[in-house]
Amino acid sequence: MIKPHSNRAWLLMIPALLIMGFVAVLPLVAVFNYSFHDIFTLDTALWVGPQWYLEIIRDPSFWASLGRSALFSAIVLSIQVPLGIWIALLMLRIGRWAVPVLMMLALPLVVPWNMIAGMWLTLIDPQIGLLGKAIATAGIGFDYKFTALHTWILIVAADTWHWLGLVVILSYASLSAIPASYRQAAAIDGASRLAVFRHIELPRIAGALSIVLLLRFVDSFMIYTEAFTINAGGPQGATTFISLELGEDIRSFTYGRAAARAMLDFLIVLSVAWAFIRIRAGRSTSPEATR
């Protein structure tokens, strides 16, 4: 269906553009401006040019935390996305039970973000936590404060618990929208379960999946609250992600460097998102992917 061309449609965009201009564009321009200044107080700022950027890029700890953030995103995406799709596929087979399962999966989404880590820390507490007591009884040593691997396991588990529901909800919604005739035709042709998934289901949920990938990438790449609450980036910087470094700059009132760091983080996120959208757009123009 071809949409008519009408620039009067801009009038309908005005309220949204005004709000976004005030709360998003204006602050972003301000961050860009701050990033070239050394800010002593909010009224006295000294122009320093690209000094902050150079300082950050030359700092090995920036690259180390960038690597950690990328690794964290890779782990989180490779666990949550396949697991979420698999659960959504299983849900197609349980009929009306799918609704209570969806409601259960949506529960962690409504937990205040600062309590996600709080709930998990309590759960694994050896004195009062159900899981912590079980681990202690089983004689397994779990020390997330001083063992980097254990901190990582805890953050990945808490993040997966938090966001798995979103992956399942979006995957399930688009999977259940596939007409039954598609699967019936495949069954008559004797297609295997894998073939049905690859050639029918996966292309049909590609749109929802790209949104899921994008949202999960950004939110995991910029993870802050959970990582900060669980171990404040420790032990010995093993979970210092890029957003924790940014938070550190803001807390120590090094606003100029914080702004430069924020711009760098934003540009990284934006360029990955842009590349991703371009790849998706390129794919969807190929004949087999059009619907």
Partner 1 sequence: MKMTRMRPSIALGLAFAALALFILLPFVQTVLLSFTLTLPREGYREGQATLINYATVFARPDLRDAIWNSLVYVLLNVTLCLAAGLPAAYAIARFRFTGDRHILFALIAFRLTPPVVLSLPIFILFAHVGLVNSPVGIALVHCVFNLPIAIWILESFIAAVPREFDETCFLDGHSFRHFFLGKLIPVIAPGIGVTVFFCFIFSWVEVVFARILTVTAGKPITMAISALFGFQTDIGLVMAMTVVSLIPGVAMIWFVRNHIARGFVIRT
Binder of partner 1 out of 50, 113, 145, 279 (CB under 8 A):
113
Check binding of 273 to partner 1 (CB under 8 A).
Answer: yes
| Residues 6+ positions from 230 with CB-CB distance below 8 Å | 117, 120, 121, 144, 151, 154, 155, 158, 239
Q: Which stretch binds partner 1 (CB under 8 A): 64-72, 123-131, 188-196, 230-238?
A: 123-131
Rounded Cα distance, 266 and 113, in Å = 21
Rounded Cα distance, 88 and 205, in Å = 11
Q: Supply φ then ψ for residue 38, to 5 degrees.
A: -100, 120
Q: Supply φ then ψ for residue 224, to 5 degrees.
A: -130, -65
The least CB distance from residue 174 to partner 1, in Å, is 6
Rounded Cα distance, 162 and 83, in Å = 14
The least CB distance from residue 29 to partner 1, in Å, is 8
Binder of partner 1 out of 54, 71, 107, 185 (CB under 8 A):
107
Q: Which residues pair with 37 in a beta bridge?
A: 47
Give the per-residue contact string, 189-228, with partner 1 (x = CB under 8 A; - = no). Answer: ---------------x-xxx-xx--xx--x---x-xx---
Q: Shortest CA distance to 212 belongs to which of 177, 164, 179?
A: 164
Phi-psi region of 49 (alpha: psi -120 to 50; beta: other; left: phi over 0): left
HSE value, Cβ hemisphere, 13 Å, CA-based, for 46: 6
Give the per-residue contact string, 12-51, with partner 1 (x = CB under 8 A; - = no). Answer: xx-xxxxxx-xxx-xxx-xx--x-------x---------
Tell me the two tokens of residue 190: 């004797």
Rounded Cα distance, 211 and 216, in Å = 8
Binder of partner 1 out of 74, 103, 187, 195 (CB under 8 A):
103
Q: Which residues pair with 39 in a beta bridge?
A: 45
The least CB distance from residue 15 to partner 1, in Å, is 4
Going 148 to 213 to 215 to 180, the CA torsion angle's sign is negative
Give the binding-site size for partner 1 (rule: CB under 8 A): 98
Check binding of 250 to partner 1 (CB under 8 A).
Answer: yes
Scan residues 142-171 and list those touching partner 1 (CB under 8 A): 161, 164-165, 169-170
The least CB distance from residue 76 to partner 1, in Å, is 15
The least CB distance from residue 169 to partner 1, in Å, is 6
Check binding of 277 to partner 1 (CB under 8 A).
Answer: yes
Rounded Cα distance, 92 and 175, in Å = 8
Check binding of 284 to partner 1 (CB under 8 A).
Answer: yes
Scan residues 73-102 and list those touching partner 1 (CB under 8 A): 87, 90, 93-94, 98-99, 101-102
Binder of partner 1 out of 70, 75, 77, 131 (CB under 8 A):
131
Q: Which stretch binds partner 1 (CB under 8 A): 7-15, 44-52, 193-201, 231-239?
A: 7-15
The least CB distance from residue 19 to partner 1, in Å, is 5
**Element housing 37 (H / E):** strand 37-39
**Nearest CB to partner 1, comparing residues 121 and 152:** 121
Binder of partner 1 out of 45, 62, 75, 129 (CB under 8 A):
129
